[in-house]
Amino acid sequence: MTQAQLMSGTDIARGIVETAAARAAAFAQAHGRKPCLATVIVGDDPASVTYVRMKRNRSAQAGIDSRHVALPAETTTGQLVAAIGELSTDPGVDGILLQHPVPAHIDERAAFEAIDPAKDVDGVTMHSFAAMAFGEPGFHCATPGGIMRLLDAYGVKPAGRHAVVIGRSPILGKPVGMLLLARDATVTYCHSKTVDLPAIVGTADILVAAVGRPEFVRGEHLKDGAVVVDAGYNPGNVGDVHFTSAAQKASLITPVPGGVGPMTIAVLLEQTVTAALTRTAPRTPPTARSA
């Protein structure tokens, strides 16, 4: 019997996108153009092509223009950095999304760092990561930011609770752990070298699975009443959590699809509109203190 309540990313994302669309419309009225998100893809990996198409469609629905740059799989790091550099200096572009992962021969970090931090609406640069880590204003990495918004929407309070994050990638596991830490959770990271992972998972009040392995976490691993966030998205719409067994132990759980995925796109769109408004805002004259 299922005891868990679903945390519907689809429902919560709808409200975030509606607000972003209203702000985008106000921006368009004031500036005579819509906010613009540039999407960059290297190669033709079918999953990445689908993700980018979905993000562009959602942008259009929210009144955000998109500009698409599709580069061949054999693109070099230098060529990709140059292409992103052009978008970074283009005044008509407000946000830049480089679809991850890029082909293995490319230095992904160098490519991410070519994004102007003011346009880093997917939150992938070191600047954005540092701002997040220090609790300073900046763009959140979209998926971790979306996860936090979903937890907030369902009244989950991380303070004092044990949060276990499986995965430590720079765009997902590591930043979501830091955002949970910033909310006073006690955070444990698990990864491929972790010894006795099931025992650690069994102590989690909040579990974030960001492993990239289908149905890696099973209900029997979980503590009764755990809050389970499945960030995984594997071929065939399968998450990193075995949903049926986990839903019998969890108090709250995200579905796949319809959980973290829509929240990621919603945060991306919200941050694109914020970037447009921030970049075009009149500069405040320096005060005596800041001059």
Q: Which of 137, 139, 133, 145 shows the shortest CA–CA distance to 115? A: 139
Which stretch in 85-93, 115-123, 187-195, 280-288 sits in contact with ligand NAP by CB under 6 A? 187-195
| Among 163, 231, 241, 246, contact with ligand NAP (rule: CB under 6 A) | 231
Does the footprint of ligand NAP cover residue 210 (CB under 6 A)? yes
Does the footprint of ligand NAP cover residue 213 (CB under 6 A)? yes
| Among 76, 192, 203, 244, contact with ligand NAP (rule: CB under 6 A) | 192
Does the footprint of ligand NAP cover residue 218 (CB under 6 A)? no
Paired strand residues for 69: 40
| Near ligand NAP in 249-288, by CB under 6 A | 260-261, 264
Q: 3-state DSSP call for residue 234?
A: strand
CB–CB of 275/122 below 8 Å? no
Does the footprint of ligand NAP cover residue 10 (CB under 6 A)? no
Residues with a catalytic annotation lie at 55, 99, 122
Does the footprint of ligand NAP cover residue 168 (CB under 6 A)? yes
Pairing of strands 186-190, 206-209: unpaired
Does the footprint of ligand NAP cover residue 9 (CB under 6 A)? no
Other CB atoms within 10 Å distance of the CB of residue 157: 12
Name every residue whose Cβ is closer than 8 Å to that of residue 13 and which is 6 or more positions away in sequence: 146, 262, 263, 265, 266
Phi–psi pair at 23, nearest 5 degrees: -70, -35
Interface with ligand NAP (CB under 6 A): 143, 166-169, 171-173, 190-194, 197, 210-213, 231-234, 240, 260-261, 264
